[in-house]
Structure 1
């Protein structure tokens, strides 16, 4: 598969996966179908819009290409009729969110590198593409964005995926098979982090601060 076609396929797949997660969260929050469409659009298209605006290459793809609306509408309809529904312990939402992270970090980094950004900037833009839509989704749905939630490792796998993608691009070893392999690695890392409860160190290691964080978490729960 040519790389340009692979980028488009991955971009649409990531849009669909993130849109599913947005539509599922809309169900959890009791939104109507218009609210579901809004949340799915923010989640599925938000990261790509941020990427395209930062690259300053004209109208973002989400607005220039109607094709990008297809996976969003399809995701909302699938959730609406119950073909995909929330599983036990929010498992379904987490799986689709992880799939969106995996595809978007790889494609965001690839598009940024192709646009001529230096490797560090390409990695950062790949991560931004991956986490941007999910952050919008969580803020609009009035919940703590997963990127700042200490339970589970969220952004770290995207740094791994974007970094590997850029490294392979620099070595001229990147192609569709490599993109799939890197995305699968990110997907697996995110799900393992959730299942095993991996956490990063808190912002402060002082015992008093850790106790306060636990107390705040217990109060919020």
Structure 2
């Protein structure tokens, strides 16, 4: 089992959990749960594989990813009523999934022999696009665009950390773990302490 395979599988399962929790807030039926969970789970990795020209796309080559996403959807369908705060659970599950997916994208780009810049971009795409698709389909304001949510910033921090560290210490266990940790710390800080970047404020031109 390669690092990319293991990371992709972990990211798929956790992202599917977050997608299914969103489906529970929308009060969807079991098919809706499965659809949203799968879209969230494989969306970012699909975009990554298309851009990296990996053929076939990871979940087509191995349908176990879809089965894992459907298992997560079924699990949430059964236990969602027992969750006291679904939104809080969604955000923390999403933080874990983001951290895992970012390094899955980084690992795939490294295996493809890409430059540090492309490695960084692939980490961000893998981490962010599944959640973006989920929120758009469910008619929510995407987490990646909400003011005060360090989401893309967290993915960028983790991707840069991993890409740069790989140049110094070419040990996948070290640079992937560091990337996941950096992503989770920034995202977790945003959730716990309200960390945020300053937003643009329009200033009328002087007369």
Q: TM-score, normalised by structure 1?
A: 0.85
Residue of 44, 47, 50 corresponding to 1:47: 44
In the alignment, structure 1 residue 80 sits paired with structure 2 residue 81: no
In the alignment, structure 1 residue 151 sits paired with structure 2 residue 155: no
2-structure distance, mates of 1:58, 1:104: 19
Residue of 127, 137, 141 corresponding to 2:138: 141
1-structure distance, mates of 2:83, 2:44: 23
Contact 1:78 1:84 in 2 (8 A): no
2:162 is matched with 165
Instruction: Say if 1:116 and 1:153 are closer, same or farther in 2 by CA, change over 3 A.
Output: same
For the aligned residue pairs, the C-alpha RMSD in angstroms reads 1.9
1:10 is matched with 7
1:114 is matched with 111
2-structure distance, mates of 1:53, 1:177: 27
Residue of 23, 28, 32 corresponding to 1:26: 23
Residue of 67, 90, 94 corresponding to 1:70: 67
Instruction: Say if 1:199 and 1:96 are closer, same or farther in 2 by CA, change over 3 A.
Output: same
1-structure distance, mates of 2:122, 2:81: 30
Cα distance, 1:177 vs structure 2: 4.6
SS of alignment partner, residue 59 of structure 1: coil
Contact 2:17 2:93 in 1 (8 A): yes
SS of alignment partner, residue 82 of structure 1: helix
1:101 is matched with 98
Structure 1 segments of 4+ aligned residues over 3 angstroms from their partners: 83-87
SS of alignment partner, residue 43 of structure 1: helix
Instruction: Say if 1:88 and 1:179 are closer, same or farther in 2 by CA, change over 3 A.
Output: same
1-structure distance, mates of 2:126, 2:82: 26
Cα distance, 1:189 vs structure 2: 1.9
In the alignment, structure 1 residue 129 sits paired with structure 2 residue 109: no
Q: TM-score, normalised by structure 2?
A: 0.90
1-structure distance, mates of 2:122, 2:161: 14
Instruction: Say if 1:142 and 1:43 are closer, same or farther in 2 by CA, change over 3 A.
Output: same
Cα distance, 1:184 vs structure 2: 2.8
